[in-house]
Structures are given as structure tokens and as C-alpha cells.
Amino acid sequence: MTRRLAPLERTSAVVNLERRLFLRRGLSLGALTLLTGCDVTNKDAVYQTLLAMSRWNDRVQAWLFNPNRLAPTYPESALSRPFRFNAFYEADKAPVIDGDSWRLELSGLIDSKQPWTLRQLNALPQETQITKHICIEGWSVIGKYTGVPLRSFLQRIGADTTARYVGLKCADGYYSSLDMPTALHPQTQLTVRFDDETLPTRYGYPVRVRVPTKLGFKSPKHIVALYVTNDDPGGFWEARGYNWFSGL
């Protein structure tokens, strides 16, 4: 594996064990084996080939990505109400965070690494977008997001915008990362309000990242840390096989 796992909430031993089990038995090629009666002897090789293709798809998508191309926007009448909740846990398990003590930790290739408070973040100029959230599962919902463009935040904290990645860690153990061109896209947002109200717990209070040019799982909620790096930080679902770039 060339992709590194971020040393995060889950211990690396557990992740490694899961990874090994997934490699060994995950690609049993059930249908293929059943239908043809042949035995796929090297399942790891099949999985490695698929992962290599996924990394190739990362490169193709980075090449296809036009930094000035905007995701379609919609009128208020198109808003999805109620807006679908989605996470790797049920809605009532979403982390309850105290906005007053919350801090956004900054690290990596950033000039000013002082943690940000919610009050500071709310004081920055904000923008509103009505865009479509598209899930890898196939469903989509249209939401109204208000927040600070990530681009202006990165510039304000003196982030090295020539670096390759922006990594994100969440209060619920989730993590993900963006390529720098997407982080600098005009619609990529540090969202603090949803549907004209304070961002509700179920949608990522106090801050989520909203990336309308990527699949929904690339818009992590409950952000607690942001870092700029040249080492691929990976992601929660990315470590489980979802394509890393997942651009729309």
C-alpha cells in the first residue's frame, strides 16, 4: 500500500487488522467464482490492481477538474426538506459539541497556527450557496449552506496553497482530505449555517466543510482540526476503498 493511513482516532493496529481481513477475504469475487467455478488464487493481487486503477482515476479526475467551473446552484423552491441525515452512525449518535469551548486546531504548512474559536470564524465574511449534495450511494439532496469560503480562510491563516493536500479531522473520529485545487475552489466552504439557521448537530455543528464539487463523503462534519500537507492524509471511507478524489 502506498497510501498512508492517517494516525488518527482509531489505532493503527485495528485499522491494519481490518485492512488485512478486507484484503484476504474482501475480494472473494463471489459472483465470478460461483459462475465460472474457477478459483481466484491471488485475491490480494486483484484488490491491488483495483486500488491502482483507483489511484489512476484520482489523477484523471485531478486533470479533469476545472478550478473555475461551478457546481449548479438552485432556487429556494428546490431545497430538500427534511434534509437527509447520513453518517457511519445513527443521527442520535452525532457528537454534541459545546460551541464556546470548541477550537479549530491548525497544523502543518500554515503560518499562523493559533486555534480558532467559533466567534472568530463567525466574524469572517460569509457566503451562501444552494447546491446539490450527491451521495456515492446514489441519492441526492439540495441544501442551503452559509459559511466562510475555505479559500479565504486558508489565505488568512497563511496556508501554503502550493501544498498538495488539506487534511480534516472530525470530533466523531471521521477524517478526510481535499486536493489543494478543490480546497481553493470558490464554492468550497467552511459551513457554519444551514438553511438560515445555526448548523444543527445532525449536519455537523459547529463547522463542516462543504464541497459541492465532490461526493458527499468528502464534506466532513464536526471539524476540529485542519492541516496542510504534502503527504496524502487519506480518509475514513477512502481507507475502506472509496475513491479518494471522488470529484463530481
Q: Which residues bind other proteins (CB under 8 A)?
A: 18, 21-22, 25-32, 34, 49-51, 53-54, 57, 64-66, 69-72, 88, 132, 134-140, 212-213, 237, 240-243, 247-248
Q: Would you say 29 or 124 has its CB closer to other proteins?
A: 29
Q: How far is the CB of 244 from other proteins (least distance, A)?
A: 12
Q: How far is the CB of 97 from other proteins (least distance, A)?
A: 23
Helical spans, DSSP H, in the chain: 12-21, 30-36, 43-64, 118-122, 150-156, 180-183
Residue listed under C-alpha cell 429556494: 76
Q: Would you say 110 or 150 has its CB closer to other proteins?
A: 150
Q: Would you say 40 or 123 has its CB closer to other proteins?
A: 40
Beta strand 223-229 pairing with 175-179:
unpaired
**Can you say whether the dihedral through the CA atoms of 131, 135, 136, 139 is positive or negative?**
negative
Cβ partners under 8 Å of residue 244, min gap 6: 3, 54, 55, 58, 177, 232, 234, 235, 238
The answer to whether 244 and 65 have CB atoms below 8 angstroms apart is no
Question: How far is it, in rounded angstroms, from Cα 112 to Cα 110?
Answer: 6
Q: How far is the CB of 130 from other proteins (least distance, A)?
A: 15
Q: How far is the CB of 228 from other proteins (least distance, A)?
A: 24
The helix/strand/coil state of 230 is coil
Q: How far is the CB of 135 from other proteins (least distance, A)?
A: 7
Q: Would you say 73 or 152 has its CB closer to other proteins?
A: 73
Q: Would you say 33 or 155 has its CB closer to other proteins?
A: 33
Question: How far is it, in rounded angstroms, from Cα 50 to Cα 92?
Answer: 36
Q: Would you say 58 or 232 has its CB closer to other proteins?
A: 58
Q: How far is the CB of 137 from other proteins (least distance, A)?
A: 4
Question: How far is it, in rounded angstroms, from Cα 61 to Cα 103?
Answer: 33
